[in-house]
């Protein structure tokens, strides 16, 4: 099964809709979670037929801000558990596979309201059946480490700690990713004002990870929005058609290694100082540096500890 989560930053214009339809055509998801739709249910109805995802659940926006929606195709059995301004929580069943829980998350962006997102996650945990498989995906609007942010003012540690604590309560772990290091950027062309962060992610509990050991998470190609789509393959992505480099995979375990943040920061700044290739080149530089660090430093240390 393939699940996509995307903060589309509004679907009120032709460019945004074309980007969404292209995403649906290229990726062909089974389930699609959209946040910040800025459209009401009646305005989203026509998209389910164009996407080929004929089932739809909607939490309407507040005025012309926010709004979330969940689309899914025929053959996938989705049962609503609860939904609200910050989440859409369902049970998923496909064919003879066991039922598992899927929660689409759209975290509060305002600093003073982020604790409401963490409170929502903890309430959802209280409603969780012990031993059940659980996956959360979406725009959490927060980072788990300073490694996941470049540019702008440093994130307050208590904000990061609040997110970490919520995931610990929920017994969820970050599933890592392949592709771009950062899922959101402000698109400034000036190094002094450029900011990019990993705000969108996928987390799962141990039971879900055990049920789908070959899963992959891919930070997709940017389309229209300043957020990247997050693509989850529960059974792993078929890469037989690919050639050469399989792409960059960020390992969640790196965040526990001393010096990880400094490695990323120096690679980023070095690329910008050279002024060779702009943002794309800087991201490639970070990815290559992390590969080498994992192979030559982290791998060597792990070998010594065995």
Residues 49-88: tens digit of each pLDDT? 999 999 999 999 998 899 999 999 999 999 999 999 999 9
Q: Tens digits of per-residue pLDDT, 79-91?
A: 999 999 999 999 9
Same domain, 217 and 185: yes
Give the pLDDT score at 290: 76
Same domain, 129 and 213: yes
The pTM of the whole model exceeds 0.75: yes
Q: Tell me how many domains the chain contains.
A: 2
pLDDT top residue among 192 and 73? 73
Same domain, 213 and 286: no
**Residue 93 pLDDT greater than 90, yes or no:** yes
Give the pLDDT score at 257: 74
Beta sheet of 200-205, edge-to-edge order: 76-83, 87-94, 100-106, 134-139, 200-205, 172-174
- Quickly list DSSP for 205-252: EHHHHHH-TT-EEEE----SSSB--EEEETT----TT--S----EE-G
Q: For the residues 276-283, what does the mean pLDDT come to?
A: 60
Partners of 94 in beta bridges: 76
Same domain, 120 and 25: yes
The CA radius of gyration of the chain, in Å to the nearest whole number, is 19
Range of the domain at 277: 257-306
Q: Tens digits of per-residue pLDDT, 118-152?
A: 999 999 999 998 899 999 999 999 999 988 999 99
Same domain, 166 and 77: yes
Show which of 216, 231, 251 is a domain's final residue. Answer: 251
Give the pLDDT score at 242: 37
Same domain, 161 and 286: no
Same domain, 189 and 67: yes
Same domain, 202 and 268: no
Give the pLDDT score at 236: 79
Show which of 232, 251, 270 is a domain's final residue. Answer: 251
Domain holding 97: CATH number?
3.60.10.10
Same domain, 89 and 124: yes
Helix segments in the chain, DSSP class H:
14-27, 41-51, 114-126, 157-170, 206-211, 260-274, 278-293, 299-305
Same domain, 235 and 280: no
Query: Could you give the CA distance from residue 107 to residue 85 in angstroms, rounded to a whole number?
Result: 9
User: If you average pLDDT over every residue of the chain, what do you get?
Assistant: 87
Query: Could you give the CA distance from residue 164 to residue 142 in angstroms, rounded to a whole number?
Result: 10
Q: How far apart are the first and last CA of the chain?
A: 36
**Residue 278 pLDDT greater than 70, yes or no:** no
Query: Could you give the CA distance from residue 306 to residue 301 in angstroms, rounded to a whole number?
Result: 9
């Amino acid at each position: 099964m393939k699940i996509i989560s995307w903060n589309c930053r509004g679907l009120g214009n032709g460019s945004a809709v074309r980007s969404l339809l292209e995403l649906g055509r290229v990726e062909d998801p089974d389930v699609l979670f959209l946040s910040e739709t800025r459209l009401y249910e009646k305005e989203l109805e026509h998209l389910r037929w164009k996407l080929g995802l004929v089932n739809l659940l909607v939490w309407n926006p507040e005025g012309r801000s926010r709004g979330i929606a969940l689309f899914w195709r025929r053959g996938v059995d989705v049962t609503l558990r609860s939904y609200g301004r910050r989440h859409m929580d369902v049970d998923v069943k496909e064919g003879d596979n066991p039922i598992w829980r899927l929660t689409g998350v759209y975290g509060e962006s305002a600093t003073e309201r982020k604790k409401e997102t963490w409170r929502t996650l903890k309430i959802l945990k209280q409603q969780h059946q012990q031993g059940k498989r659980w996956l959360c995906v979406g725009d959490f609007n927060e980072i788990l480490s300073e490694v996941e942010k470049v540019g702008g003012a440093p994130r307050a540690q208590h904000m990061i700690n609040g997110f970490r604590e919520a995931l610990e309560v929920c017994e969820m772990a970050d599933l890592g990713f392949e592709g771009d290091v950062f899922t959101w950027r402000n698109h400034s062309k000036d190094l002094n004002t450029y900011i990019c962060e990993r705000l969108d992610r996928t987390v799962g509990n141990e039971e879900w990870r055990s049920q789908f050991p070959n899963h992959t998470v891919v930070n997709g190609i940017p389309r229209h929005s300043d957020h990247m789509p997050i693509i989850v393959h529960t059974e792993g992505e078929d890469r037989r058609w690919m050639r050469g480099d399989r792409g960059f995979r960020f390992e969640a375990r790196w965040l526990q290694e001393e010096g990880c943040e400094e490695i990323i920061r120096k690679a980023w700044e070095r690329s910008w100082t050279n002024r060779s290739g702009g943002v794309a080149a800087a991201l490639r530089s970070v990815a290559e540096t992390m590969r080498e660090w994992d192979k030559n430093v982290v791998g060597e240390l792990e070998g010594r500890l065995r």
